[in-house]
Structure 1
Amino acid sequence: MQWGDKERYLQYVKAYQPHNKKVKRLRILLHGPVGAGKSSFINSVNTIMQGRMTGAALVDSASVHSFTKKYTTYKIQKGNPRTFYPFIFNDIMGLENNTNTGVRAEDIKLAMKGHVRDGYKFNPISTLSKEDQGYNSCPTVDDKVHVLVCVIPADGVSRLSDEVVGKMRDIRVAASDMGIPQVAILTKIDEACPEVNKSIRNVYKSKLLKKKMEEFSSKLGIPMNRIFPVKNYSSEISLDDDTDSLILCALRQMIDFGEDFRNRM
């Protein structure tokens, strides 16, 4: 990590254009347990790209169940209100222990294949079927997911239940079968480590965070060099260059992995 290089990371993201002309937008799907920070990450990226605090993806810090109920696509505005960056995020209902609560793993698999329409309200009791209005029977290349991102709170790695880990493993195997690249972001690093809370530049010096990353890598099988620690914007009212750098570094990797995948399509 090169501290002080925020502008370099930012310019890379701003200048990104897909090489494969068949695909207009890079689709990044975020999934993970309830309260991991999926919506907050989307808001944080939007905040950095807009240069001001934003909150397009709704967040609820008090709910014990997923606040996100629908399959929602978020575009990042570029310049005027009618132009957008060529990458989009999909937010999804959180994973939970109970089989009758939270998003079903089968629905995430359908989303990766492009079969879930934007705005579909997830039903924890039953998987999306071909007869449902929310089912997209003829997905285009743009509808399909190009990068799968697992979002995990650093302070919750040890508390991940076997049920949730099992669902994430199942989703990961399905994504691998489809050839979809996968990365993970470790959120709430300042809450998990006192040294990082003092200064975010201690993130790669923290033995505690390294241990959390190793533990998560062991549970899910995602390599260490594809797990990116970040701090989302939550209580701040102004931007911080070091916070931005971590988020932009993770975003750049998502774009690179997604671009490699799309060029093979």
Structure 2
Amino acid sequence: MVSSHSAFDSGELTELAVTAAREAGQILLRGAEEGPVRASAKSSRTDLVTVFDRRSEDHIVGLLTAHRPDDGVLGEEGGERPGTSGVRWVIDPLDGTANYVARYPAFVVSVAAELDGVGVVGVVHDPSRQETFSAERGRGARLNGRALHVPHAADGLAEVLLSTGFSSDLAVRARQAALAARIACRVRDVRSSGSAALDLCWVAGGRLGAYYESDTRHWDRAAGALIASEAGAWVGDLDGGPASDRMVIACTPGVEQGLRTLLGHA
């Protein structure tokens, strides 16, 4: 058991995160097979939660704390529990709840580990496709064990397939929709999966050339942003700093300046 900074082992954390995310993914799949999933509203009628969000998070937290009782935990549904080891787990037990409720296969489990506030491990599991994206800081990113390398964009933004997301806050969503409409004519095409973590991983895998979204939360992007970065993507915000609640951008190298400028002036 790792309980001190000197004994920190990112490989052990990755293995634990992969196990937790895959087991939670099975909980979600079994839940979907049981029949229609009922959802209740949190902050708005479009901000949904199901019993399976909570079952997934409970399982992940239980597994992590059984192995590492001194770690902190930040979960979307359960809030924050402080720790003493310097490691904090950041969990989104079901990113893409609206998709899950609709049986639209674009939802994932996201588990990240931070050491003294810096992301060191990220795991995103897509149970519908049985794809597990993972990364360790400084050691690259992988998909089901295969190394990921983001290709460079040879022809600029005009050739980029871009994805974005929309807030559960309807006023914010209206502004996001207006921005997406202006962006759409400057790129190859626009998509929206409904899962920030999935979009970040698809940038890492070369399936998307860029992704941006405003009004995300830390658990939405903690694992996916590390995976994209370790695969070689540019990841940050409008000002070139770290990704934030205000804006997260991930893209193939070479288009970040143009995309940031476009988003800042669109």
Smaller-chain TM-score bracket: under 0.3
Structure with the greater relative contact order (CA < 8 A, sep ≥ 6): 1 or 2? Answer: 1
TM-score normalised to structure 2 length: 0.27
TM-score normalised to structure 1 length: 0.27
